[in-house]
Amino acid sequence: MIIRAVVRGVGHYLPERVVPNAWFEDRVDTTDEWIRTRTGIERRHFAADGETTSDLGAKAAEAALIDAGLTAADIDALVVATSTPDLTFPSAATMVQAKIGMKQGFAFDVQAVCAGFVYALSNANALILSGQAKRVLVIGAETFSRILDFDDRGTCVLFGDGAGAVVLEATTGSGATGDRGILATDLNSDGSYKDLLYVDGGVSTTGTAGHLRMQGNQVFRHAVEKLAETAHAALDKAGLSGADVDWIVPHQANLRIITATAQRMQVPMDRVVVTVQDHGNTSAASIPLALSVGKERGQIKVGDLIVTEAIGGGLSWGSVVLRW
């Protein structure tokens, strides 16, 4: 018998304000048609003034706790994946911890941009397998609207705000691929690609939050290649293949990247959870949001084999294979 980190609950939260593609037509030289055909995005949510990443994260965490039938008192570690924390410090995670009334355990942030949730899930899995925690809240929460340059049509139309969360719980498994829980993880980064995707401000440089800068077509090229590679690597480690996959739950950056990755994995699109049309790219929040929406839609069911994969600034990329 071995320990497995099993998803016991999932939830999400989206800010009330919905921003359709047409909203950008008055601000930059773009069209709804361009955005839809080049990205698959139709709308995204933006946080209200004063609504912060930890507000979104706390609401997603509360939804995941309800889904799990647990309370904050049952959790012993809390991890927030974010690149848009409320403050430089303390962590968004400790702020979420306070907002959900969790008095025990420990909380910290993970920063790997759009790959953040995959990194957080992999690290939470390691906490559980090493016996450091039994129940971990893993949250992806972002307010990317706060770091967008609304004069740059190449980036401002792509991103949105939101949060998703899962409760991971230590459970006994047989060690076979039929076990529920996380079966394998694969993480990668290569800091030499920094200039492809970064924010042009920060604490020890400009002293400001800065704006997102991206060489979109270069990131696109790396994404298509690296996402299929990391997904295959994680499946290999689990002793599984693309044919075993019930659902790919990809990072939701661009429908063309999602489609190309599924093709490379030889998984048909009717086994891919797609939410990019409604959320845009919510960075570290996109995968837990898609898991929660996929469950709500009745797509994801107990026992399904799921592959998540993501790439973001760094470059950082990775994949987690889990049985729901």
The residue ranges that bind ligand ACO (CB under 6 A) are 30, 34-35, 38-39, 113-114, 153-154, 157, 197, 216-217, 219-220, 223, 253-254, 257, 281, 283, 311-313
* Shortest spacing between CB 184 and ligand ACO, in angstroms: 23
Listed residue (197, 208, 166) closest to 312, CA to CA: 197
Between 96 and 257, CB nearer to ligand ACO? 257
Q: What are phi and psi of 289, to 5 degrees?
A: -60, -45
Residue 142 vs 186, nearer CB to ligand ACO = 142
Amino acid at 197: L
Q: Which residue type occupies 46?
A: F
Q: CB burial class (10 A; 0-12, 13-18, 19+) of residue 50?
A: exposed
Which of the residues are catalytic? 114, 251, 281
Residue whose CB is less far from ligand ACO, 57 or 312: 312
Quote the radius of gyration of the chain (alpha carbons, Å). Answer: 18
Nearer to ligand ACO by Cβ, of 125 and 155: the residue is: 155
Q: Strand 181-189 to strand 247-250: parallel, antiparallel, or no bridges (unpaired)?
A: unpaired
Query: Measured from the CB of residue 56, what is the shortest distance to ligand ACO in angstroms?
Result: 17
Minimum CB–partner distance for residue 215 and ligand ACO (Å): 8
Residue 126: enclosing H or E segment and its boundaries?
A: helix 116-129
Task: List the one residue out of 285, 286, 297 whose CA is nearest residue 57.
Answer: 285
Retrieve residue 75's tokens: 């959790």
Minimum Å distance from CB 223 to ligand ACO?
5
